[in-house]
Amino acid sequence: MTKKNIQTAQDYLTISKGNGKKRIMDIEQLLKKHPSEEVTNLLKMFLKEKQTALRDFIITDKTQPEIDETVGVMFRITMAIKTIELEKEVKEFGRAK
């Protein structure tokens, strides 16, 4: 993956909080040691965990602030997955020519 796309995906997985930043997951380090497909699979598993948590929050109490946070994290994970997968598709398209 290009550094630009890794940074874009990492930006989706980084949340600004007050005086600092919180990383949902450090994919920069993961991508140094693992293929992008494995990192994408890990992100998809994490997304499923968040979906389960969201369902539980909604069943328990629809007014919980954790619902908003969980939906935001799910969106960020989805965008990071799409960023990684898009680069993979572009590379495969380029090889097909």
Span 8-20, pLDDT tens digits: 999 999 999 888 9
Largest CA distance in the chain: 53
Does pLDDT of 93 surpass 60?
Answer: no
Average pLDDT rounded to a whole number, residues 19-37: 93
Integer Cα distance of 29 and 7 in angstroms: 11
Q: How far is CA 62 from the centre of its chain?
A: 24
This prediction has a pTM of 0.87
